[in-house]
Amino acid sequence: MHVNDPITVVGDLHGQYYDLLKLLSVGGSPDTTKYLFLGDYVDRGCFSTEVMLLLCALKIKYPTTVIMLRGNHECRQMTQSFNFKEECLAKYDQEVYDNFIEMFDTLPISAVINGKFITFHGGISPDLKTISDLNKLNRFVEPPTKGLLCDLLWSDPVDKPDGSLAQTFSRNEQRGCSYVYGADALTKFLQTNNLLSCIRAHEVQLEGFKMYNWRNKNFPQIITIFSAPNYCDSYNNKGAIIKFEVR
């Protein structure tokens, strides 16, 4: 997907419906504001079905200005392991759950803002060389446990101030799948594709966001955005969004 500003970028929501309502009031009314959601709409929180039904309603009413990317929780395995399937069956039935799952299989994986900012839920992959690789990917499937589609949903930046990593990509032990990437891998990808930065979600942040300026550039090479405040009623974190405005 290719989009331009003005646009509001939203990170993980995880079933926090009332926080989504607050977010929409802060981020701008959907009838006048373009939104890019980076996935993880469901699981953890108690109102995942309400989050999905509202987002679907907004997508139907504003099909060109509400964009929803897929997160790692938008799949069969995660929604069965956590609470989205159980919630759907308690509030509705198997058919509603199955329809949501079929929808998840159709969600796009990435978007580029202003031709300079690439967005994913997770991050880059050793199998991702150019943006054109994304258009060759068959995304209409349950995400596998390895490979490009898995990495785009699951990978993480290394948590080091200088972005140093012994290898270009290292196994992501914390997640149990995919990779951790550092400054070398990300810089090469951004330069190859003439991009400025990567915006992603996937990790809770105390301030709601985190900027990685690994190579002392004038602009952070990667930005993590997380939009579910007080995640799981225990993290006491802030929720954040990113607003691209026309100056």
Q: Annotated active-site positions, please? A: 73
**How many other CB atoms are there within 10 angstroms of residue 139's CB atom?**
17
- The structure tokens 């994986």 sit at 109
Alpha carbon distance 8, 36 (integer Å): 6
119 to each of 36, 131, 162, 200, 234, how far by Cα in Å?
9, 11, 22, 6, 28
- Contact between residue 38 and residue 12 where contact means Cβ atoms under 8 Å apart: yes
Query: Which residues on neighbouring strands pair with residue 242, listed in sequence order?
Result: 9
Tell me which residue of 170, 81, 85 sits closest to 123, measured CA to CA.
Answer: 170
Alpha-carbon torsion (222, 107, 241, 78), positive or negative: negative
Q: Which residues contact 82 (CB under 8 A, 6 or more apart)?
A: 42, 43, 44, 73
| Burial zone of 112 (CB within 10 Å; 0-12 exposed, 13-18 middle, 19+ buried) | middle
CA pair distance 83, 44, nearest whole angstrom: 6
Helices (H) and strands (E) in the chain, counts: 8, 13
64, 247 Cβ separation under 8 angstroms = no
